[in-house]
């Protein structure tokens, strides 16, 4: 029997992943205080079984049952740490819903993360993936985070620099993977922000509404509208948002691709690198709207793989591999998955 009293056995994870994949964890527990987490660590249970820290489950693909302990972080709380004439430090518990946190900040007039509205998941997960959308990434407004050492229970603080953020990447996906659980995240947000509306879709949405002098609320509303029109609601159709990362290639390679594919969607990425739109590459290979049983590619956004009902994680992963192979065969470009396969 498990030592820790609140651990459940053979627990369904269906409602803890936005793909709505049927999967069972051998053990499952929830923690909402640091003391609670430290008690779990002291019990030795984390030493006996593989560990999966769960947030909103928006970036997971289960391909089978999890033969370990799933720990769901459900701590709550948002507080203002410091405020000046130009900026404010806002600290959020890891268990807070990301979009609800963004909405809180927008309503308070705190700018910097409005472009990241309506992204599924919890606050604690956002720095791990360095989530981004419409020209903005978490790292742009990130100040620091608190994380629990899963060996000692010690609460440590990591600065922006120490997180080593990259494109959909951080130290918590590499060197420190599986060693820490993020407990809170602090953002430095602006009271007079410079809005990022240069991303075409946002500008078009604002223009369509006749908005010439946008507020952060206007930008958030525009982003929500764009996402609702292009992307499926995970509550209604199982998905994890963007399944693949936008690939980055050398400038010379991009130029050669443009010779063969003049309509190639691409963006400068600095250091003689070019970022390609993975969705465009996938769509050109004929995958948009494709369906194999209950696993498919969304009809409005080729970057999103979906579960129409009874697809298994293996079904979706098989489809993902076929897409990767076809894109590589046609363009010579390798697509990396953004989701974590369990």
What amino acid positions are annotated as catalytic residues? 168, 242, 338
> In whole angstroms, what is the distance from residue 249 CA to residue 54 CA?
33
Do β-strands 51-54 and 66-73 pair in parallel, antiparallel, or remain unpaired?
A: parallel
Q: How many CA atoms lie within 13 A of 250 on its CB side?
A: 4
Token couple for 106: 């927008």
DSSP state of 196: -
88 CB contacts (<8 Å, ≥6 apart)?
80, 82, 110, 188, 189, 191
Tell me how crowded residue 77 is: count the other CB atoms within 10 A of its CB.
Answer: 11
Q: List the beta bridge partners of residue 137.
A: 132
- Give the chain's radius of gyration (CA, Å): 21
Give the residues across from 169 on adjacent strands.
Answer: 166
CA distance 4 to 319: 39
- Cβ proximity of 185 and 124 under 8 Å: yes
Q: Where are the alpha helices (DSSP H) in 81-237?
A: 98-108, 126-129, 200-208, 216-230
Q: How many residues can be counted in the chain?
A: 342
- Give 149's strand partners: 180
């Amino acid at each position: 029997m498990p030592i820790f009293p609140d651990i459940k056995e053979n627990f369904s994870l269906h409602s803890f992943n936005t793909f709505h994949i049927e999967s069972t964890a051998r053990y499952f527990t929830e923690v909402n205080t640091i003391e609670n987490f430290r008690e779990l660590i002291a019990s030795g249970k984390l030493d006996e079984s593989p560990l999966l820290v769960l947030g909103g489950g928006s970036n997971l693909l289960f391909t089978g049952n999890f033969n370990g302990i799933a720990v769901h972080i459900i701590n709550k709380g948002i507080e203002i740490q410091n405020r000046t004439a130009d900026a404010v430090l806002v600290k959020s518990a890891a268990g807070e819903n990301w979009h609800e946190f963004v909405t809180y900040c927008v309503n308070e007039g705190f700018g910097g993360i409005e472009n990241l509205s309506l992204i599924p998941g919890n606050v604690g997960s956002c720095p791990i993936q360095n989530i981004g959308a419409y020209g903005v990434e978490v790292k742009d407004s990130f100040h620091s985070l608190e994380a629990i050492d899963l060996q000692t229970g010690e609460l440590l603080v990591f600065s922006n620099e120490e997180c080593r953020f990259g494109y959909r990447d951080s130290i918590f996906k590499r060197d420190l993977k599986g060693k820490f659980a993020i407990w809170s995240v602090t953002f430095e947000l602006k009271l007079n922000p410079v809005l990022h509306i240069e991303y075409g879709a946002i500008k078009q949405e604002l223009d369509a509404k006749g908005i010439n002098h946008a507020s952060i609320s206007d930008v958030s509303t525009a982003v929500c509208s764009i996402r609702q029109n292009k992307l499926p609601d995970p509550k209604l159709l199982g998905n994890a948002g963007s399944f693949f990362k936008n690939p980055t290639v050398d400038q010379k390679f991009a130029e050669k691709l443009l010779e063969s594919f003049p309509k190639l969607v691409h963006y400068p990425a600095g250091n003689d690198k070019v970022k390609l739109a993975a969705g465009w590459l996938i769509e050109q290979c004929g995958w948009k709207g494709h369906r194999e049983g209950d696993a498919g590619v969304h009809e409005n956004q080729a970057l999103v793989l979906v579960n129409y009902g009874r697809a298994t994680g293996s079904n979706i992963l098989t489809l993902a591999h076929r897409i990767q192979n076809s894109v590589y065969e046609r363009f010579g470009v390798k697509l990396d998955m953004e989701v974590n396969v369990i």
